[in-house]
């Protein structure tokens, strides 16, 4: 009888152990973080085309699951950034460069030797930018086109909102590793070098572009027709200054 109770007790103990293991497995499986689902301002009919990308500063960011789903309106609204990626130069920078050249050549107060020097410097800096096959600054700006949060309209592109979005990413400093591990970076021949020298590369590129824009804005004609272009370029310089400051706080440990 005693042995029977012992066997019965042993059986109950085994059942309890199995139940404890099952409960533990249930807790583990149900405690895993779920991938955020898009529930934003976009038409619910398009929600199935949108997938989670990453989180920065507590804000979830999403993208369209395939390029064919990217709305035509958003691509058109972001045409300057997309054109910049295609031609290696931002359209306003190119226009500012040509207007500044005209301003230099037609400036009656500037000596001929000074004109030749200024044109040479501007041509050299522009050539350097256009020959840059890969640009971290362009990629960061292009990322504001591809990735969106739930509060912005993914069918359109609002430049002030996306400027603030880029500043948000830099402020929270938690997305550099994500961008550097995207497939397009890993496929680059210099991908490893880029990862290891991310801060130096970004700081040098943003500084060089700042110098080009400073030179352009300095030599733009002073008439009213150039004010809008000058303001656009000054806005770009402000963004570049923020990127440059951010790059100084980076380290290779971000990956």
**151 shares a domain with 89:** yes
CB atoms within 10 A of CB 248: 10
Q: Is residue 64 part of a domain?
A: no
**178 shares a domain with 241:** yes
pTM for this entry: 0.71
Mean pLDDT of 182-195: 56
Mean pLDDT of 132-151: 85
Return phi, psi of residue 50, to 5°. Answer: -110, 135
Q: Is residue 154 part of a domain?
A: yes
| Both structure tokens of 213 | 């824009």
99 vs 225: CA distance, rounded Å: 11
Which stretches within the chain are classed as H helix?
2-31, 72-77, 79-87, 91-105, 112-130, 136-146, 159-172, 176-180, 183-186, 191-196, 198-219, 227-248
Q: Is residue 41 part of a domain?
A: no
**99 shares a domain with 13:** no
| Statement: residue 212 has pLDDT above 80 | yes
* Cα 14 from chain centroid (whole Å): 55
Q: At CB < 8 A and 24+ separation, what contacts does 193-196 make?
A: 194/134, 195/252, 195/255, 196/252
Domain that holds residue 20: 1-32
32 vs 172: CA distance, rounded Å: 24
**196 shares a domain with 116:** yes
For 3-49, the pLDDT digits (tens) are: 433 333 444 444 555 555 545 554 445 545 689 999 999 999 999 99
**How is residue 37 annotated by DSSP?**
P
Indicate the pLDDT class of residue 161, thresholds 50, 70 and 90. very high
Indicate the pLDDT class of residue 188, thresholds 50, 70 and 90. low
């Amino acid at each position: 009888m005693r042995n029977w109770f012992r066997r019965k007790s042993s059986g109950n103990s085994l059942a309890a152990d199995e139940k404890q293991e099952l409960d533990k497995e249930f807790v583990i499986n149900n405690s895993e973080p779920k991938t955020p689902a898009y529930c934003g301002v976009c038409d619910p009919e398009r929600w199935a085309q949108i997938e989670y990308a990453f989180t920065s500063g507590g804000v979830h960011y999403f993208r369209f699951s395939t390029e064919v789903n990217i709305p035509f309106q958003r691509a058109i609204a972001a045409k300057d950034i997309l054109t910049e990626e295609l031609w290696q130069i931002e359209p306003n920078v190119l226009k500012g460069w040509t207007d500044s050249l005209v301003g230099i050549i037609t400036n009656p107060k500037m000596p001929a030797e000074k004109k030749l020097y200024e044109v040479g410097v501007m041509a050299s800096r522009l050539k350097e930018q256009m020959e840059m096959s890969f640009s971290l600054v362009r990629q960061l700006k292009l990322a504001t086109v591809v990735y969106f949060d739930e509060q912005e309209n993914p069918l359109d592109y609002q430049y002030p909102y996306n400027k603030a979005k880029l500043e948000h990413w830099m402020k929270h400093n938690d997305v550099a590793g994500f961008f550097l591990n995207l497939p397009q970076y890993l496929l680059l021949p210099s991908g490893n070098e880029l990862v290891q020298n991310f801060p130096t590369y970004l700081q040098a590129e943003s500084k060089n572009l700042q110098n080009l824009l400073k030179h352009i804005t300095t030599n733009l004609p002073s008439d009213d027709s150039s004010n809008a272009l000058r303001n656009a370029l000054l806005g770009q310089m402000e963004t570049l200054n923020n990127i440059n400051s951010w790059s100084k706080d980076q380290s290779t440990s971000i990956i």
